Structure 1
Amino acid sequence: MGISLNTVLVVAEAVYGYIGNSTALLADAGHNLSDVLGLVVAWGASIAARRAPSGRFTYGFRTSTILAALANAVFLLVATGAIGWEAILRLREPEPVAGVTVMVVAGIGILINGFTALLFARGRKDDINIEGAYLHMAADAAVSLGVVVSAALIIWTGWLWLDPVTSLVICATILWSTTSLLRGSIDMSMAAAPRGTDLTAIKLFLLERPGVSAIHDLHVWPISTTETALTCHLVMPNGAGDAFLMETAQQLKASYRIGHTTLQVETQPDNGCALAPDDVV
């Protein structure tokens, strides 16, 4: 539904932006087009993530959700660059704007983008991919509001430079909202521990497990935007059974949202494990 509504909005804003000679409305159309592409990518990634592991892809296509989040951020930055450049050119030579037409179309944009943002609001805290879609839609609603305000002021004051200036303000807003998404998606693409993961607490939890005298080679990384994996070597002189391993994995999932745990038990503290030093990966 979100993709269909925003596709219609892109066409309407592009047509009436051209007819009304408004760079702000055309900029909004370009921004909405990047959002449609972003939603398509996010939707495709969510479908791909459900594919079963096979062949070389031992985790399936779950990582595609991370790539989709990164693509969403890149789409936003590219659209922002195009909007900013056009606004600078128009600022040098302001042209008349059909204020009423621009206000009506942008007003419709507020309703559509606001409604679509609400569709993604609930799941945005648990999935960076959904967060990216939510930020797209919320930013679009704010952009459309800015277009409405600038068109009203142009009608009232006749200041034609307000149209390109509004576009530049929109660009600054988009850049600010995209920073967190871009940083988060790049971190996840580089296998950084997901945001909110307390590595110190995880180390302490593992060290306090019965029979564990030391740990090393601890790694925590995302295998999708909603799934986290962990591997670690546990030094346990008395060894460990399946019950210990299963209980540890269950507690890691319950307390730290780590659903894919792999633990290696070593009974000899001085066994010469090549991965024991902290500076070895």
Structure 2
Amino acid sequence: MHHHHHHDDDLASDRIGIAFALNVSFTIIEFIGGVLTNSTAIMADAVHDLGDSLSIGLAWLLNKLSARESNNRFTYGYRRFSLLGALINGFILLLGSGWILSEAIPKLSNPEMPVVEGMLGLSLLGIAVNGFAAWKLSAGKTMNERMLNWHLLEDALGWAAVLLVSIILMFVDWPILDPLLSIVFTLFILFNVGKTLWKTTLLFLQAVPDANMANRVGELLRADTEVTEVHHLHLWSLDGEEHVLSAHLVLAKTLGPAEQLALKRRMAQQLSVFEFAHTTLELELPEEICRDRDEAAEVE
């Protein structure tokens, strides 16, 4: 399992690294293309992609940091740094999308006709570059990669809008289509990023990653005949992918060392289906007063 997680970390880092290299290279091309085509829409997207590049670079660094081993300061390791990267990128994306809307909405009343042929060529390249990068990150499971995937998907959809507009503008004089479609796609991305950002925020605040999982774990622990009560059941996530469980189990009767070992092994086998990164179960004797009892949160 330890080797498996290191392998996943390396793959995630590679995927983010590829996305970063592609985004930086294309951002430079965008700035040049924006000047040559006299397209404010392309220049706006270039600025947005520059912000994307910075956020992807930050995500890359944080993802590498998250793979470091645990130590005396970070006893659970650094995996939550990946979650921090997802939060930062989510807010950057919200700000970037707001900026795009502030640029696109005024153009509805005063649209400008760009160099259509240049828009067409850049849009095809933009779809290819961002689409490939989004496809690479789509295999990722961490919240960090999911948030970055929305970054790239937003760019790919934006370039699809530019492609559609450039084709239409070759035949009709409707420059208003450019800001109109940009607004539609940006609102679509904002809606989806908002949901992902809310989920990431809850995980960062150590909310239960899956309510159904928490219920199943509680039922499983109480189902054992040696257990009469379960309290202090805590379930949270390190990065949206690796979860942590701790619980206090009140025994029906005093068990000897061999019986306690058998119970622990039985619990470990039953909980293995959840693939928790860390599991802590404290066994309490029937007459024992829980030292944390006053603050215990009962899980019914």
Relative to the length of structure 1, the TM-score reads: 0.90
Question: Does 1:91 pair with 2:111?
Answer: no
Pairwise CA distance, 1:213: 0.8
Letter in 2 for 1:151: S
Paired residue for 2:184? Answer: 169
Paired residue for 2:203? Answer: 188
Paired residue for 1:138? Answer: 153
Paired residue for 1:262? Answer: 280
Paired residue for 1:271? Answer: 289
Q: Return closer, same or farther for 1:133/1:104 CA change in 2, 3 Å cut-off.
A: same
Pairwise CA distance, 1:47: 1.1
Pairwise CA distance, 1:238: 2.5
Matches within 5 A, 1:1-281: 1-123=18-140, 126-195=141-210, 197-236=212-251, 237-239=253-255, 241-252=260-271, 254-268=272-286, 271=289, 273-278=293-298
SS of 1:215 mapped into structure 2 = strand
Paired residue for 2:7? Answer: none
Pairwise CA distance, 1:140: 1.8
SS of 1:157 mapped into structure 2 = coil
Using the alignment, how far apart are the partners of 2:262 and 2:58 within structure 1? 42
CA RMSD of aligned residues (A): 2.1
Question: Mind listing any 5+ residue stretches in structure 1 that lack a counterpart?
Answer: none
Contact conserved, 1:30 with 1:83, CA < 8 A, in 2?
no
SS of 2:268 mapped into structure 1 = helix
Which ranges of 4 or more aligned residues in structure 1 deviate by more than 6 Å? none
Using the alignment, how far apart are the partners of 2:46 and 2:81 within structure 1? 27
Contact conserved, 1:99 with 1:155, CA < 8 A, in 2?
yes
Question: Mind listing any 5+ residue stretches in structure 2 that lack a counterpart?
Answer: 1-17
> Could you tell me the percent identity over the aligned residues?
30
Residue by residue over 1:177-215, the C-alpha shift from the partner in whole angstroms, topping out at 9 and shown as x without a partner, is 212221111011110111475211111000012411110
Contact conserved, 2:250 with 2:283, CA < 8 A, in 1?
yes
When structure 1 is superposed on structure 2, of 191-200 and 260-269 the one drifting more is: 191-200
Residue by residue over 1:112-171, the C-alpha shift from the partner in whole angstroms, topping out at 9 and shown as x without a partner, is 111111212223xx3222212222222221111111111222222111222222221232
Relative to the length of structure 2, the TM-score reads: 0.84
